[in-house]
């Protein structure tokens, strides 16, 4: 997951983004290079984690494949019950925090934002849930 180099938080989300780095959260991220939403959203999410100062060793990225029936396969898919990607599971002290999140395309990085020249922003729901 390569962070976008042109991302920065909107002024009203900076505290929420920085909160991602304040604790020893572990971020488990499922995505695939075949997935348009992953290619669209994960660079902005990676940039948010980078901005928050989250060390790379606290981010686990799991490559996910899509089977003919639409099901997902890959490391941790069954263990974590991954059905959609991109999905992020946040853990602290090996405990899952408030479930997992399908990154909402329209909030994290939408095509209209990408094409408008505006900066994409992380999902406030995701950030609030991890704070």
Domains and CATH numbers, the chain: 11-130 (3.40.30.10)
d(CA 90, CA 73): 20
Query: Residue 105: what pLDDT?
Result: 46
Instruction: Summarize pLDDT for 39-62 with one digit per residue, the tens.
Output: 989 999 999 999 999 999 999 999
Given a cut of 90, whether residue 65 has pLDDT beyond it is yes
How much of the chain exceeds pLDDT 70, in percent?
Answer: 74
| pTM, full prediction | 0.72
Tell me the per-residue pLDDT of 8-43, one tens digit each, with 9 for 90 and over.
Answer: 888 888 888 898 898 889 999 999 999 999 998 999
């Amino acid at each position: 997951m390569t962070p976008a180099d042109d991302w920065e938080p909107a002024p009203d989300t900076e505290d929420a983004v920085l909160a991602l780095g304040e604790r020893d959260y572990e971020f488990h991220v499922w995505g695939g290079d075949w997935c348009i939403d992953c290619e669209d959203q994960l660079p902005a999410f990676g940039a948010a984690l980078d901005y928050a100062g989250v060390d790379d060793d606290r981010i686990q990225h799991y490559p996910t494949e899509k089977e003919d029936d639409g099901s997902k396969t890959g490391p941790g898919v069954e263990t974590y019950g991954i059905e959609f990607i991109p999905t992020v599971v946040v853990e602290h002290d090996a405990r899952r925090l408030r479930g997992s999140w399908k990154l909402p395309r329209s909030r994290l990085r939408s095509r209209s934002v990408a094409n408008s020249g505006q900066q994409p922003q992380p999902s406030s729901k995701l950030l609030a849930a991890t704070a």
